[in-house]
Every structure is written in C-alpha cells, then in structure tokens.
Amino acid sequence: QTGSANTNPSDSADDEYITSVSIGTPAQVLPLDFDTGSSDLWVFSSETPKSSASGHVTYSPSKSSTAKKLSGSTWSIEYGDKSSSSGDVYTDVVTIGGFSVKTQAVESATKVSTQFVQDTVISGLVGLGFDIGNQVSPRPQKTWFSNAASSLAEPLFTADLRHQETGSYNFGFIDTSLAKGTIGYTPADGSEGYWGFTATGYSVGGAKLNRNSITGIADTGTTLLLLPDNIVDAYYNNVESAQYDDSQEGVVFDCDEDLPSFSFGVGGQTITISGDLLNLTPIEEGSSTCFGGLQSSSDIGINIFGDVALKAALVVFDLGNERLGWAQK
Ligand SMILES: CSC[C@H](NC(=O)[C@H](Cc1ccccc1)OC(=O)N1CCC(N)CC1)C(=O)N[C@@H](CC1CCCCC1)[C@@H](O)COc1ccncc1
C-alpha cells in the first residue's frame, strides 16, 4: 500500500507547507503542517479556547464515531521558535494521501501559544520525526508514519517541496521522476527524534565542494537553511549589500542582487540551491530589502536543513534502512 498527498506553500515566502489530513468518522479535514523536526500529531480542536481557535479549522472528537479518549494522557511541546502547545489525547482514524491509520494518537490542544493563534493557515502539525521524540505522557505515542510503516509497500516517505508550487509527500514509494539527479543515501541518526545526517562539504557559487562536513537535521517544519556563522559569512561575503538587520534578526540585502548558489555534498551527490531560492522575500510588502534564506544556526545549537534546502531536492526519509536520500531536482 502507498499514500500520496499534495502540499502547498502557505504564503509568498514559502514559510510553511500545508497538507490536508482527514481525521475521524465522518472525515473532518484539517490543514496541517508536516514536520520531520518533531514527533507529535496535534490539532486545534473543540477543546481549544474559542478565542484562540477563531479563524482555525478544528477537530471535534465528539462528532467522530471512531474517536476514543486516551484517558490520563496529556502532552506539551515547545518548538525551536519558542512557540508551544499542550492538551489531552484521543485516538481516531487518520487518513493522509488515501492511506488510513485506524488508531492514531490525535493530540487535542487545550492551550496554544500566540504564534499558533495568529497562524490561521494551519490547524496543527503532523510530526514525522522518530517516535522517541513524542511528548505524550505517561505513555509516548507513535507517529502516523511509524504506525503506517509496517503496512506501506516500503517503510519510507519522500518530500518534494517546491517554491510557490504544489509539491507532494509520498508514502511507501519513491517517484524518481520527481528528481533530475541520482539519489545519494547517507545514514540517518534518529537518536534525538530528528532526521540527523552529515553533509560532507559545501561550496558557494558553483565552486568545488570543500571537505568541511556539516552535521544537521532535515526539517520540513523549518522555513530556513540554518548553518554555522563561518559558512553564513563565507556566503554573504559574495553579496555586496548584505548586512545583519537587528529588527529582522537576520541578514538582509537589496532584493535586486544576484545571489550566488549554495551547494552541499551528501551521499556522494551534490545538491545545489539556486540563488533565487536563497532570496526569500522583501522584509515588508513592497520593500526593496530582502531577507536571506540562509541564516545563522548559532543561537539554536543545531544546524537545520529546512525548506530552503529541501526545495532544491527530492528527499527520501527511509526509516527501514535508517537513512536519508537526497537527489537534485
Ligand atoms: C530553529 S527551529 C525554528 C522553526 N520555526 C520556523 O522555522 C518558523 C516556521 C513558521 C511558523 C509560523 C509562521 C511561519 C513560519 O519560521 C521561522 O522561524 N522563520 C520563518 C520566517 C522568517 N522571517 C523568520 C524565521 C521550528 O521551531 N520548527 C519546528 C516546527 C514548526 C513550529 C512552529 C509552527 C510551524 C512548525 C520544528 O521543525 C523544529 O523544532 C525544533 C528545532 C530545534 N529544537 C527544538 C525544536
């Protein structure tokens, strides 16, 4: 069996990618953010304070004949951007891209932080990280993919995120036609719950790859490419107008600059992110100052190959072989 779901950028900055998910009987369809950087499936629900839930699609377990309360279970999660949510837990049928998991832990939010209240394009997250990262207590729950893996044709999924275009998450199969290059595989480290891996080197503007390895995570739930300061500096030294903007908390530059590409090596392949994928958006509507897609990871303590990097590739999250595959798109 397999599943295939379309995913769409949330706005002109490709800030988030939104995928429709069906929960319960009859199906309640919610727009969710698939996040390989976390391991909880949680949703805005009938238990979320009305003031917080306004503008969001919500899940009502009481309207689902297959919903069951997981009594005594609670959850609480905080993300890298300091957003947070918490609540209690139900199990229900969850269908993604035509594939159904009958008894999936659906974490219902009784509390959400301001960022989530304001972010009305999504009604929650589908964590696609490793089960060890699940935040339900007293008994941690499995992710939707972990529950699905044993019934899928192959225990893997692929992410094909695109700039201002519809992309896809495919489960149980690899559609190699989505990629131009060969898929290069490298071991994945799931010990922290993330999809950790090591890139073997990098280069700016099409130069030869150096051999400075970068250990980080492949994270669909993070917008930017977040790397060490020395790499960020080496990149922006090539951008005449680049400067650090305190209010934006990042490097900005003139929108009409021709940005160099950024390449990294992984699994014997070279993934090149074109300059225009690294020029995210004007810092404000109509501004001629743009915010960079490559920013520093120094205050997070972990390097993150987020959507800016993932958009350049077809990425295979291969749980069965504990490996990550990357192919140029
Ligand atoms: C340094 S992880 C920062 C990252 N959150 C982002 O990437 C957000 C995403 C967003 C949210 C709302 C509107 C627009 C964009 O976007 C930005 O932070 N930015 C984009 C816009 C830009 N102008 C400023 C910077 C993050 O916590 N991801 C987690 C999932 C995320 C949570 C928030 C909702 C969307 C999904 C997750 O994968 C990684 O969890 C951790 C990473 C490291 N240790 C702990 C947790």
List pLDDT tens digits, range 169-200. 999 999 999 999 899 999 999 999 999 999 99
Q: In a 10 Å sphere around its CB, with 0-12 CB exposed, 13-18 middle and 19+ buried, how is residue 66 labelled? A: middle
Residue nearest to atom 42 of ligand 1 (CA): 80
Strand partners, 136: 75
Per residue in 125-148, is it b (16+ CB within 10 Å) or e — as a string?
bbbbbbbebbbbeeebbbbbbbbb
Q: How confident is the model at residue 327 (pLDDT cuts 50, 70, 90)?
A: very high
Decide if 318 is catalytic: no
Instruction: Determine if ligand 1 sits within 6 Å of the CB of residue 300.
Output: yes
Average pLDDT over residues 97-118: 98
Q: What is the pLDDT of residue 280?
A: 83
**What separation in Å is there between the alpha carbon of 219 and the centre of ligand 1?**
9
If you count them, how many residues does the chain have? 329
What atom of ligand 1 comes closest to residue 306's alpha carbon?
A: 7
The full DSSP string for 19-45 is EEEEETTTTEEEEEEEETT---EEE-B
Residue nearest to atom 14 of ligand 1 (CA): 15
> Of 39, 322, 307, 34, whose CA–CA distance to 197 is shortest?
322
Q: Mapping DSSP to helix (H, G, I), strand (E, B) and coil, where does residue 61 land?
A: helix
Decide if 35 is catalytic: yes
Q: What is the pLDDT of residue 212?
A: 97
Instruction: Determine if ligand 1 sits within 6 Å of the CB of residue 113.
Output: no
What atom of ligand 1 comes closest to residue 10's alpha carbon?
A: 14
Residue nearest to atom 30 of ligand 1 (CA): 221
The pLDDT tens digits for 226-281 are 999 999 999 999 999 999 999 999 999 999 999 999 999 999 999 999 999 999 88
Q: Mapping DSSP to helix (H, G, I), strand (E, B) and coil, where does residue 278 land?
A: helix
**Angle, CA of 310, 316 and 319, to the nearest 5°:** 130
Q: Is the pTM of this model over 0.90?
A: yes
**What separation in Å is there between the alpha carbon of 67 and the centre of ligand 1?**
30
Q: How confident is the model at residue 114 (pLDDT cuts 50, 70, 90)?
A: very high
**What separation in Å is there between the alpha carbon of 14 and the centre of ligand 1?**
12
Instruction: Determine if ligand 1 sits within 6 Å of the CB of residue 37.
Output: yes
Catalytic residue among 14, 33, 35, 119: 35
Residue nearest to atom 19 of ligand 1 (CA): 223
> Mean pLDDT for the chain?
98
pLDDT at 23 exceeding the cut of 90: yes
Instruction: Determine if ligand 1 sits within 6 Å of the CB of residue 88.
Output: no
Instruction: Determine if ligand 1 sits within 6 Å of the CB of residue 16.
Output: yes
Catalytic residue among 40, 119, 160, 219: 219
Say if CB 142 and CB 158 are below 8 A apart.
no
> Of 77, 121, 78, 90, whose CA–CA distance to 24 is shortest?
90
What atom of ligand 1 comes closest to residue 249's alpha carbon?
A: 24
What six digits make up the tokens of 126?
A: 């589908």
